[in-house]
Amino acid sequence: MSDFDPMEAMKKEFESYIIPPSWKDRVWEINEYRKFHEETVKDKKSIEEWWERWANELPWFKKWEKVLDDSNPPFYRWFVGGETNLAYLCTDWQLEQGRKNKVAIIWEGEPVDENNEPKEVRKLTYYDLYRESNRIAYMLREKLGVKKGEILTFYLPMIPELPLYMLAVQRLGAKHSIVFSGFSAEALAIRIIDAGARIVVTADGLYRRGKVLNLKAIVDEAIKICEREGHKVEKVIVVKRIGTDIPWNSERDVWHHELMSDIPKNVKVECERLGSEDFSFILYTSGTTGKPKGVQHSVGGYAVHVYTTMKLIFDIKDEDIFWCTADVGWITGHSYVVYGPLMTGATTLMYEGAPDYPDVDRWASIIERYGVTIFYTAPTAIRMLMRFPEEKYTKHDLSTLRIINSVGEPINPEAWRWYYKVFGRENVVCTSTWWMTETGGIITGHSPGFGKIYPLKPGTNGFPLPGIKMEVFDDEGNPVKPGERGYLVISTPWPGMLMTLFKDPERYIQVYFEKYRKRGWHFYTGDFAMIDHDGYVWVLGRADDVLKIAGHRIGTAEIESAIIKHPAVAEAACVGKSDPIKGEIAIIYVVLKKGYEPSEEMVAELKKHLRATIGPVVASDALIAFVEVLPKTRSGKIMRRLLRAVAEGKPLGDVTTLESEVAVEEAKKAYEIVKRALERT
């Protein structure tokens, strides 16, 4: 167990000013930048002027009447009265700008030949995207009756059909709810039911680390659960990716290619004119309760935010090859694999498989193969790659890279330095962009798009974007001093912000705005952070019961409610434990029912159960520790602080404040159990 303290490690870097040599003549003096930033958040007018400038770069079917309607906080509405459509921005508008035959998507499949060359590469031009998404939209409308406002659930792997279906539903003014293909049948079912989807789009399977995973079987399982809950899925569209035999229900299931076989090549479906404040998609994310939250995003505000960050944070240019390694099933993939790059007419890269298949240099080989210029990935992946010799990567030509960013969890300074050196040759912009599913797009980071940068610092998240004010508060809502830890809040509305939680506006207010309600309308992020003396933000990790396992966001309550469904489990409590590669893993303390005994087999059985109910992301690294009782206060509250200390192998702290002797003993016992479990791994 390590004594690594992220706060101390980051504090050490407060004064590490790094300027990549190629930027040495293009540097903002920090205070000059700070002043510029402050001007943009001075008042409502400055905020509006800042964002309006970017909105003016996009085409609108109808221009907005009001930039920001803040008459009903926290339900802010952006570019009110304006009309646009994400599909229009990503395809039609690109053709209008002369990008008809520019490659929009480069897709590489996972399987390789005997020389480790990819067996399949597909390149789709903007014209291909335009035509295919029109055809799919036409098919959905004419054959399946999809109309404006309907929500479709996509459970698809990283194949080009996913963005094509996204664009098709946007054309129709329908909405998507994408469920990451690593989620279990149960997680998928909950999301299908909540969205009320009657159509699910999936694939027969996917390749992952050389193996085939049968997605369709998971969908069938999910549909059974939906039926038990009284929700009917009418149609399952299946894209043929693998070609193996799969279970089939001929009344409900239909192949994508068969649905498309008689759709003419050149059908056109007019883009629906959507109100800027209409919604474009929902995406479920985890919170502190067991029930996932349907984060609902707008059309116009979302578009402006994602567009602006493509220009500023990624400095996107026509000749760039842009690669965000995230799965499209997460918000990062929505905004920076699909909508952002396409809206800015870039070439976006999609890779189907694992970063280490057939070897850890797969990503480096892809960067070399296509001359990737902008790269965006997660710290977990960087830490995994770091375990191998640098030559694995540097033997590939990585010299095309000019901006490399990270996202999803804090990047420890050591990983940042490695990434900057090995991938960035110490001469690129390298920043950790902080944001969330709820923010729609990037909120902090360096902005080379200005043509100048303020100095880099290893591990920092940099300044918030202009037009956005962030603060770090103590429990009462007082700003803490520079360098002190507190809760990160966003104090001003921004265009990419979620509109509400789907069908649950009360929860939207409660989760994000209740905490500091007395101080006004501050968006509570749920993160611990500090702001240093220069004004740079440093995010330290979650402050609530949400874990980030390899950058994937999952609530401990979700894990507990999944494990408790197993017939052997009486009670369970889950906490996070820091992990040198994954950032965090789950430790689950389990009390078994009478008649069940702790054993290696029981651990395996519970892990299998977790895999089926929550999915492999959590299950594969979860540690299960059996205890006889959970440490609780007299009022019955589980003492998580204690469990976390136990998990981290840290002193239990001031145990005299604990209310129960038994709890102290149990915690100590649990500590021994976890220690032994860790020693075994």
**Beta carbon of residue 546, minimum distance to ligand PRX (angstroms, whole number):** 7
**Beta carbon of residue 527, minimum distance to ligand PRX (angstroms, whole number):** 5
Closer to ligand PRX at the Cβ: 170 or 525? 525
User: Count of CB atoms within 10 A of residue 22's CB?
Assistant: 12
Q: Tokens 């399952």 — which residue?
A: 236
- Cβ atoms of 285 and 553 within 8 Å: the answer is yes
Q: Where are the beta strands (DSSP E) in 481-558?
A: 486-490, 500-501, 523-531, 537-542, 546-549, 552-555
Closer to ligand PRX at the Cβ: 90 or 411? 411
**Beta carbon of residue 17, minimum distance to ligand PRX (angstroms, whole number):** 19
Q: Which of 379, 444, 461 is nearest to 414 (CA)?
A: 379
Rounded to whole angstroms, the Cα distance separating 130 from 174 reads 17
How far, in Å, are 40, 233, 302, 336, 462 from residue 374 at the CA level?
27, 40, 22, 11, 18
Closer to ligand PRX at the Cβ: 358 or 483? 483
How far, in Å, are 23, 55, 296 from residue 451 at the CA level?
9, 20, 33
Structure tokens at 527: 């993160």
**Beta carbon of residue 315, minimum distance to ligand PRX (angstroms, whole number):** 18
How far, in Å, are 69, 161, 235, 260, 513 from residue 255 at the CA level?
44, 13, 10, 9, 45
**Beta carbon of residue 537, minimum distance to ligand PRX (angstroms, whole number):** 9
Closer to ligand PRX at the Cβ: 58 or 539? 539
Q: Is the peptide bond before 358 cis (omega within 30 degrees of 0)?
A: yes
Closer to ligand PRX at the Cβ: 349 or 442? 442
Closer to ligand PRX at the Cβ: 10 or 218? 10
User: Count of CB atoms within 10 A of residue 261's CB?
Assistant: 9
Closer to ligand PRX at the Cβ: 345 or 496? 496
Closer to ligand PRX at the Cβ: 280 or 461? 461
Q: Which amino acid is at 260?
A: M
Cβ contacts of 236 within 8 Å, gap of 6 or more: 199, 200, 201, 202, 216, 219, 223, 249, 252, 253, 254
CA atoms within 13 A on the CB side of 355: 19
Rounded to whole angstroms, the Cα distance separating 573 from 587 reads 8
Closer to ligand PRX at the Cβ: 279 or 434? 434
**Beta carbon of residue 583, minimum distance to ligand PRX (angstroms, whole number):** 9
**Beta carbon of residue 551, minimum distance to ligand PRX (angstroms, whole number):** 7
Closer to ligand PRX at the Cβ: 432 or 613? 432
**Beta carbon of residue 314, minimum distance to ligand PRX (angstroms, whole number):** 14
Closer to ligand PRX at the Cβ: 40 or 432? 432
Structure tokens at 53: 């400038």
Q: Which of 286, 346, 365, 281 is nearest to 85 (CA)?
A: 281
Closer to ligand PRX at the Cβ: 182 or 408? 408
Q: Tokens 């510029």 — which residue?
A: 36
Closer to ligand PRX at the Cβ: 32 or 484? 484
How far, in Å, are 148, 293, 558, 608 from residue 563 at the CA level?
39, 20, 9, 10
**Beta carbon of residue 293, minimum distance to ligand PRX (angstroms, whole number):** 10
Which ranges of 313-378 would DSSP assign to H, the alpha helix? 331-333, 340-343, 362-370
Closer to ligand PRX at the Cβ: 118 or 496? 496
**Beta carbon of residue 421, minimum distance to ligand PRX (angstroms, whole number):** 19
CA 163 to chain centre: 16
DSSP secondary structure, 45-101, as one string: HHHHHHHHHHHTTS--SB--SEEEE-SSTTS-EEEET-EE-HHIIIIIHHHHTT-TT
Rounded to whole angstroms, the Cα distance separating 280 from 302 reads 9
**Beta carbon of residue 193, minimum distance to ligand PRX (angstroms, whole number):** 22
**Beta carbon of residue 502, minimum distance to ligand PRX (angstroms, whole number):** 15
Rounded to whole angstroms, the Cα distance separating 48 from 426 reads 37
**Beta carbon of residue 379, minimum distance to ligand PRX (angstroms, whole number):** 8
**Beta carbon of residue 380, minimum distance to ligand PRX (angstroms, whole number):** 11
**Beta carbon of residue 283, minimum distance to ligand PRX (angstroms, whole number):** 9
Rounded to whole angstroms, the Cα distance separating 353 from 337 reads 15
Closer to ligand PRX at the Cβ: 543 or 678? 543
Rounded to whole angstroms, the Cα distance separating 496 from 512 reads 15
CA 360 to chain centre: 23
Rounded to whole angstroms, the Cα distance separating 138 from 120 reads 28
Task: Count how many residues are written for the chain.
Answer: 681
Rounded to whole angstroms, the Cα distance separating 143 from 21 reads 57
User: Count of CB atoms within 10 A of residue 509's CB?
Assistant: 17
**Beta carbon of residue 542, minimum distance to ligand PRX (angstroms, whole number):** 5
Q: Classify burial at 598, counting beta carbons within 10 Å of its beta carbon; exposed 0-12, middle 13-18, buried 19 or more.
A: middle
Q: Which residues bind to ligand PRX, rule: CB under 6 A?
A: 285, 331-332, 407-410, 432-437, 461, 525-527, 539, 542, 548, 553
Structure tokens at 303: 């578009």
**Beta carbon of residue 407, minimum distance to ligand PRX (angstroms, whole number):** 5
Closer to ligand PRX at the Cβ: 123 or 291? 291
Closer to ligand PRX at the Cβ: 134 or 184? 184
